[in-house]
Amino acid sequence: MNINFTPFPKLTTERLELRRLTLADDNEIYFQRSDKSMNQFVDNKLCESIEEARAWIEMIEKNIVNNESIFWGVCIKGEEKIMGGFCFWNISVEEEKGEIGFGIFPAHQGKGFMNEVLQVALKYGFDVLAFKRIEGYTHHQNMASIRVMEKNGFRLKEEQPEDADPYVVYELLKPI
């Protein structure tokens, strides 16, 4: 596997750019991490201040520098402000896999943006990082995330009993 995020890989699609975060993204990260609708299916403490958003950006930067995980801010081409994000994290060199995380601001949902992001990011994960498997965990009621994963070839990895954790695991194996 080739887990090396230097230089930082900038990815593009027909309509989007996936770029490195900067501290100038603090307002957008604050929104992303504090908006109740964006965090409805995520088990994270809501961000309470710009300072917490900046600390989160600094943590992400440290993880990138240490080749532990990578996070891209998602922008419409030609615009500076991010409208969401995508990451690979929980990377396991031994198991040759990574986990995805993603979100798009409510004003940009339903326009196919995350589908574009997944297509270019999954290609990067398999071709550059050399993952053999990519996983996505989501709440079983998060139908938007489930739909975008299934549209991109992810399959439910394991059925959950009704009284189990409300999160389900989807996986995508490297195409042969």
Residue type at position 77: K
What's the predicted TM-score (pTM) here? 0.94
Helices then strands (H, E): number in the chain? 4, 8
pLDDT of residue 159: 63
Residue 144 lies in a domain: yes
3 state DSSP class of 40: coil
Residue 6 lies in a domain: no
Task: Using the predicted structure, report yes or no on whether residue 174 has a pLDDT greater than 70.
Answer: yes
Domain holding 145, by residue range, is 11-173
Residues 31 and 75: their CA atoms lie apart, in Å, by 15
Residue 2 lies in a domain: no
CA distances from 95 to 10, 29, 92, 136 (A): 26, 31, 5, 15
Give 140-151 pLDDT, tens digit per residue: 999 999 999 999
CATH number at residue 139: 3.40.630.30
Residues 84 and 35: their CA atoms lie apart, in Å, by 12
Task: Using the predicted structure, report yes or no on whether residue 94 has a pLDDT greater than 80.
Answer: yes
Residue 64 lies in a domain: yes
- Of 28-32, 42-46, 118-122, 164-168, which range is least confident? 164-168
The number of domains in the chain is 1
Name the band, by pLDDT with cuts 50, 70 and 90, for residue 167: confident
Residue 5 lies in a domain: no
3 state DSSP class of 132: coil
Q: Residues 85, 102: contact at Cβ < 8 Å?
A: yes
Task: Using the predicted structure, report yes or no on whether residue 42 has a pLDDT greater than 90.
Answer: no
